[in-house]
Amino acid sequence: MKFKYYPAFILAAFIVTGCGMEGLPLAEDTDGGSRASTLQAADIASSGSQASTEISNGSFPLGSQASGAGASESTDLGGGSPGPSASAGNTSSSGSAESFAALHGALSVKGTSLTDQNGSSVRLYGMSTHGIAWFPQYVSYDAFRTLRDDWNTNCVRLALYTDEYNGYSNGGNQEELKSLVKEGIDYATDLGMYVIVDWHVLNDRDPNVHKEDAVGFFREISSLYGDHTNILYEICNEPNGSTTWDNIKSYANEVIPVIRENDADAVILVGTPTWSQDIHQAAASPLEFDNVMYTLHFYAATHTDDLRSRLETCVSEGLPVFISEFGMCDASGSGGNDFGQAEKWMELMDKYQISFCCWNLANKAETSSVLKSGCDKTSDWADDDLSESGRWIRERFRGQTE
C-alpha cells in the first residue's frame, strides 16, 4: 500500500466572491460584456431560471445562459471530518474489508481496458464535481463518503476550471485552489477511492493558452502525490473551437513528461477536439506514451447514434477511451433529460467496460446538477434532496458492477 497520508488541511472560511457562474465568459460568447459581469451568488441563487440553449449539429455550444447558481458565498467544507485509514471498510462494490483502491492498486492501460495491479480489468465510475472554485463545499470527506457508500461509486473527479471567471488562470486564487485539489485527493485517498484531477479547459478552447500554468500545476501535484496509486491526471477537459488534435498532441507532449517525472506510470486522460468528441482523430494519430486514455464526453439529449457509433468504432479498433464527463440532459448542462438515450449510452459503456463520470455534483439550478437548487446539505442526501438527474444516476450507480 503506497498511500502517503497528508493531513487534510482545511481552508478556513474559503470565501467565494463573485462566484456566480453567470459572470463566466461563455465558450460561444462574443460579447465581451458578459465577461465583466460579477453578479454575487446571493443575487442569483434564487433565480432558478434555466439556460435556453440552442444545440446544433450535435456539437457542444455553450449557448446564452442565465441559470441560477446554488453556490454559497461562505463555504462550509463539510467540517473536515477526519477520515479513517485507507484500509477502512468499503461497503461499495467490492464488499471486501479492504478499500477499493487498495484492492486494485496501481492501474495501467492494457488494450482498451484499465487494468489493476492483479492484471484484472477494472472500471471506475463516479461523480464529477462542478467547478471547485464555485462549489468547494462538496470537496469534503462526508460528500465523498456518501458517494462511495450510498451511491456505490469508486471514483471522483475534481474539476478545476482554468479560464472561466475566477478559474485557476483567470483571477482565481491559485494557492487556495491547489489546497482544495489536495484536500479532494486526500479525502478520496482516505476513502479508498480513485480520484481524477481535471484541468478543466473550456473557455480557453486551446490548452496551449495556459500551458505554463498547467505545467506548474501538474508538476506540483504529481510531486506531492507521485507515490499514490489512486490518482489519474486529466490534462485538458474539452479542447474546442479551432483547436486541432495536433495542437492537443503538442500540449500533451509537454505536460505528460512533467507528470511522468514524478509519477512514472500514472494513468493520464487526454481530451480530444470539439469538446472531447473527436476521438477518431486521436485514433488516427495516437500519442506515443503508455497508460494514456482518450476522453469522449456526451450529453444524452444532444449526442446520440452518431457519437455512439464513433465510440464503438474507435474502441473496437483498440482505442482506450474514458468517458470522464457526461450528462443525461443537453450539452448546455440544462434543458430536459433524455433518459432513453442515456440508457443507450450506459449499455454501450457496459458492453465495452468503459469507465465514466457524471456531471455534476452541485446544487446549481441547472438540469445536470444532481442536487436540487434548494438543497443545502453537503452529504448524506435523501431522495428529496436530489434533482431528477440525481435520482436517476444514483439508481444507475447503485446497480453498477465493476
Stretch that binds ligand IDC, among 82-90, 241-249, 336-344, 358-366 (CB under 6 A): 358-366
Please, which residue, 341 or 368, has the CB nearer to ligand IDC?
368
Please, which residue, 154 or 277, has the CB nearer to ligand IDC?
277
Q: Which residue is nearest to ligand IDC (CB)?
A: 333
391: exposed, middle or buried (Cβ count in 10 Å: 0-12, 13-18, 19+):
middle
| Residue 333 is a binding residue for ligand IDC (CB under 6 A) | yes
> Is the Cβ–Cβ distance between 198 and 160 less than 8 Å?
yes
CA distance 248 to 181: 24
Cell numbers placing 89: 471498510
Please, which residue, 229 or 360, has the CB nearer to ligand IDC?
360
Catalytic residues: 238, 325
DSSP assignment string, 196-256: EEEEE-STT-SGGGGHHHHHHHHHHHHHHHTT-SSEEEE--S---TT--HHHHHHHHHHHH
Least CB distance from residue 4 to ligand IDC, whole Å?
31
Contact string 367-396 vs ligand IDC (x = CB under 6 A): -x----------------------------
111: exposed, middle or buried (Cβ count in 10 Å: 0-12, 13-18, 19+):
exposed
Of 189, 332, 341, 400, which lies in the binding site for ligand IDC, with binding defined by CB under 6 A? Answer: 332
E strands, 74-142, are: 108-110, 113-115, 125-131
Please, which residue, 143 or 331, has the CB nearer to ligand IDC?
331
Binding to ligand IDC (CB under 6 A): which residues in 48-77? Answer: 60, 62, 65
How far, CA to CA in Å, does 160 sit from each of 136, 216, 343, 381? 11, 14, 28, 24
Stretch that binds ligand IDC, among 38-46, 97-105, 309-317, 329-337 (CB under 6 A): 329-337
- Residues forming the site for ligand IDC (CB under 6 A): 21, 24, 60, 62, 65, 164, 202, 237-238, 275, 297, 299, 325, 331-333, 359-360, 364, 366, 368
